[in-house]
Structure 1
Amino acid sequence: MGVPVVIVTDSSSRLPASLMSKYGILQVPLHVALDDGTEYLEGVDDIPTDVVSTPNVTTSGASLADLRSAYERALEISDGDGVVAVHMSRRLSGTWSAARLASDALDGEVRVVDSRSVGVSLGLTTMAAVQAAQAGGERDDVYEAAVRAGATAESLLCVQNLDNLRHSGRLSATGHILGSALSIKPILHMADGVLALRERHRTMTKAISKMVDTIVELADGEPVTVGVQHCQNPALASEVLDSVVSRLDDVPSTLTVDLGQVLGTHVGPGAVGVALAHGLDPITF
Structure 2
Amino acid sequence: MSVAIITDSTAYLPAALLTAAPAPITVVPLHVVLGGREHREGVDITTDDLSAALRKFTPVSTSRPTPHVFLDAYEAAAAAGATGIVSIHLSSDMSGTCQSAQLAAQQSPVPVEVVDSRSLGMAMGYAVLSAAAASAAGRDLTDVAAVARWRSEAATVAFYVDTLEHLRRGGRIGAASALVGSALAIKPILTLVDGSIRPLERVRTSSRALARLVELAVTAATGSGGVVDLAVQHLDSVARAQSLAGQLRERIENVGDLVVGELGAVVGAHVGPGTLAVVVSPRPPS
Tell whether the structures are fold-level matches, with TM greater than 0.5: yes
1:30 equivalent in structure 2: 30
Provide the identity percentage.
Answer: 36
CA positional deviation for 1:163: 2.4
> Is the CA contact (8 Å cut-off) linking 2:147 and 2:284 kept in structure 1?
no
Which amino acid in 2 is paired with 1:34? L
Structure 1 pair 52–256 and aligned structure 2 pair: CA distance change class (3 A):
farther
Aligned residues: 277
Alignment partner of 1:243 is 2:241: no
Q: Secondary structure at the match of 2:255?
A: coil
2:61 equivalent in structure 1: 58
Specify which of 74, 78, 81 is matched with residue 77 of structure 2. 74
Stretches of structure 2 lacking an aligned partner (at least 5 in a row): none
> Is the CA contact (8 Å cut-off) linking 2:4 and 2:82 kept in structure 1?
no
For residues 183 and 275 of structure 2, the distance between their equivalents in structure 1, rounded to whole angstroms, comes to 18
For residues 177 and 143 of structure 2, the distance between their equivalents in structure 1, rounded to whole angstroms, comes to 40
Which amino acid in 2 is paired with 1:9? T
Structure 1 pair 66–51 and aligned structure 2 pair: CA distance change class (3 A):
farther
1:152 equivalent in structure 2: 154
Specify which of 174, 177, 184 is matched with residue 175 of structure 1. 177
Which amino acid in 2 is paired with 1:10? D
Which amino acid in 2 is paired with 1:228? V
Q: Which moved more, 1:17-26 or 1:230-239?
A: 17-26
User: Where does 1:47-126 land on structure 2 (aligned, <5 Å)?
Assistant: 47=46, 48-49=49-50, 50-53=52-55, 54-77=57-80, 79-106=81-108, 109-126=111-128
Specify which of 10, 17, 32 is matched with residue 12 of structure 1. 10
Specify which of 204, 209, 219 is matched with residue 211 of structure 2. 209
For residues 218 and 94 of structure 1, the distance between their equivalents in structure 2, rounded to whole angstroms, comes to 30
For residues 4 and 183 of structure 2, the distance between their equivalents in structure 1, rounded to whole angstroms, comes to 48
Structure 1 pair 74–80 and aligned structure 2 pair: CA distance change class (3 A):
closer
Compute the RMSD of aligned alpha carbons.
1.8
For residues 105 and 133 of structure 1, the distance between their equivalents in structure 2, rounded to whole angstroms, comes to 22
For residues 183 and 159 of structure 2, the distance between their equivalents in structure 1, rounded to whole angstroms, comes to 19
Structure 1 pair 242–101 and aligned structure 2 pair: CA distance change class (3 A):
same
Specify which of 189, 194, 197 is matched with residue 195 of structure 1. 197
2:227 equivalent in structure 1: 223
Alignment partner of 1:44 is 2:46: no
CA positional deviation for 1:22: 3.7
Structure 1 pair 190–159 and aligned structure 2 pair: CA distance change class (3 A):
same
For residues 280 and 43 of structure 1, the distance between their equivalents in structure 2, rounded to whole angstroms, comes to 28
CA positional deviation for 1:146: 0.3
Structure 1 pair 181–141 and aligned structure 2 pair: CA distance change class (3 A):
closer
For residues 174 and 258 of structure 1, the distance between their equivalents in structure 2, rounded to whole angstroms, comes to 23
Q: Secondary structure at the match of 1:252?
A: strand
Structure 1 pair 108–179 and aligned structure 2 pair: CA distance change class (3 A):
farther
For residues 182 and 168 of structure 1, the distance between their equivalents in structure 2, rounded to whole angstroms, comes to 19
> Is the CA contact (8 Å cut-off) linking 2:86 and 2:114 kept in structure 1?
yes
TM-score (normalised: structure 1): 0.91
Q: Secondary structure at the match of 1:173?
A: helix
Measured against aligned partners, the alpha-carbon deviations of 1:227-277 in whole angstroms (never above 9, x if no partner) come to 111011111111111111211111111122211111111111011111111
1:266 equivalent in structure 2: 270
Specify which of 137, 142, 146 is matched with residue 144 of structure 2. 142
CA positional deviation for 1:25: 0.8
Measured against aligned partners, the alpha-carbon deviations of 1:103-153 in whole angstroms (never above 9, x if no partner) come to 012166111101110112111111111121122212211111001111111
> Is the CA contact (8 Å cut-off) linking 2:75 and 2:109 kept in structure 1?
no
For residues 246 and 83 of structure 2, the distance between their equivalents in structure 1, rounded to whole angstroms, comes to 40
For residues 186 and 89 of structure 2, the distance between their equivalents in structure 1, rounded to whole angstroms, comes to 31
Which amino acid in 2 is paired with 1:173? A
Which amino acid in 2 is paired with 1:268? G
2:259 equivalent in structure 1: 255
